[in-house]
């Protein structure tokens, strides 16, 4: 017969129950808090991802070495799983919050009435964030199909991460997508970065203006940084390869050979 649980173990079970997590996810304030946390963590990922992609400017050797180093990390599967969960949580909460606010005819952000630190957009910021987020989701799926899953039928995939990436950002249609997608991402971040601080309750009249300016700078930096890759890298790669492909193919001048004289 199993012994009855001790009072200490019962108290421990009550302390670690997950009802608080359920309340956090189902409450409006809790969802915005989680959105703020996931948003800032994803911002950190974007900074690291952009830094790695900038190695495209250095050339094939450096970028391939970086890609190989990344893929040899033992914790990579856990990191990718964590990123996936962050994206899914952020996207899910964005959809839930948007539809609930529309149903209740309320605005998405509690502090939106004060437009002192809001982007000047032709549509309300909460609608723009939902629209831009949906576009970014489509762009993310395209990016995964192109370079993570590798199932684009018009691509010739190789073992070179540089060559595969160049196909994605040099393809006529893909090049447009890899320019427009980051620009939309930049606008999303320009508002979302500051909104994350609002959701976490980290705003104050003394430094709200600074956070707003940093949010715009961050959005521009990330958007312009990623968009610069399809704009600049293919041209740089073509120019660096041009001398090798245009070397003279004229036959070498004949070399005079002294033949022995016949008597």
Sign, CA torsion 190/43/180/133:
negative
Instruction: Tell me the CA distances in angstroms from 80 to 33, 73, 83, 85, 194, one per residue in order.
Output: 23, 11, 5, 9, 26
State the chain's maximal CA–CA distance in angstroms: 121
Distance CA 108, CA 93 (A): 12
Is position 13 within any domain? no
Is position 14 within any domain? no
Is position 253 within any domain? no
Which tokens hold the place of 123? 């549509």
The residue range of the domain holding 54 is 24-101+124-240
Is position 178 within any domain? yes
Distance CA 185, CA 224 (A): 10
Q: How confident is the model at residue 95 (pLDDT cuts 50, 70, 90)?
A: confident
| Average pLDDT of the segment spanning 27-54 | 92
Is position 112 within any domain? no
Query: For 231, phi and psi rounded to 5 degrees?
Result: -80, -40
pLDDT at residue 6 is higher than 90: no
pLDDT at residue 208 is higher than 70: yes
Is position 147 within any domain? yes
| Average pLDDT of the segment spanning 58-64 | 96
Question: In this structure, what DSSP letter does residue 112 have?
Answer: T
Domains identified in the chain, total number: 1
- Over residues 35-44, the pLDDT tens digits come to 999 999 999 9
Which tokens hold the place of 118? 């809001």
Distance CA 94, CA 214 (A): 23
Indicate whether this model's pTM tops 0.85: no
Is position 188 within any domain? yes
Is position 2 within any domain? no
With beta carbons less than 8 A apart as the criterion, state whether 184 and 128 touch. no
13 compared with 224, residue with greater pLDDT: 224
Q: How confident is the model at residue 111 (pLDDT cuts 50, 70, 90)?
A: very low
pLDDT at residue 114 is higher than 60: no
């Amino acid at each position: 017969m199993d012994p009855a649980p001790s009072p200490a173990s019962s108290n421990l079970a009550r302390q670690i129950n997950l009802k608080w997590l359920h309340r956090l996810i189902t409450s409006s304030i809790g969802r915005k808090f989680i959105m703020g946390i996931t948003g800032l963590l994803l911002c950190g990922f974007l900074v690291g991802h952009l830094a790695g992609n900038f190695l495209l400017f250095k050339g094939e050797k450096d970028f391939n070495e970086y890609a190989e180093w990344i893929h040899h990390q033992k914790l990579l599967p856990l990191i990718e799983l964590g990123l996936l969960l962050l994206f899914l949580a952020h996207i899910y909460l964005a959809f839930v919050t948007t539809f609930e606010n529309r149903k209740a005819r309320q605005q998405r952000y509690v502090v939106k009435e004060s437009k002192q630190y809001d982007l000047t957009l032709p549509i309300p910021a909460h609608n723009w964030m939902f629209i831009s987020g949906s576009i970014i989701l489509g762009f993310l799926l395209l990016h995964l199909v192109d370079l993570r899953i590798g199932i684009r039928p018009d691509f010739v995939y190789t073992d070179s991460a540089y060559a595969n990436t160049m196909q994605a950002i040099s393809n006529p249609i893909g090049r447009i997508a890899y320019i427009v997608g980051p620009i939309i991402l930049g606008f999303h971040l320009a508002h979302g970065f500051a909104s994350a601080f609002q959701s976490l309750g980290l705003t104050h009249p003394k430094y709200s203006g600074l956070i707003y300016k940093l949010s715009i700078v961050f959005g521009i930096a990330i958007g312009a940084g990623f968009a610069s890759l399809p704009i600049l890298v293919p041209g740089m790669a073509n120019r660096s390869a041009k001398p090798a492909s245009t070397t003279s193919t004229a036959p070498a001048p004949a070399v005079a050979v002294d033949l022995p004289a016949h008597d």
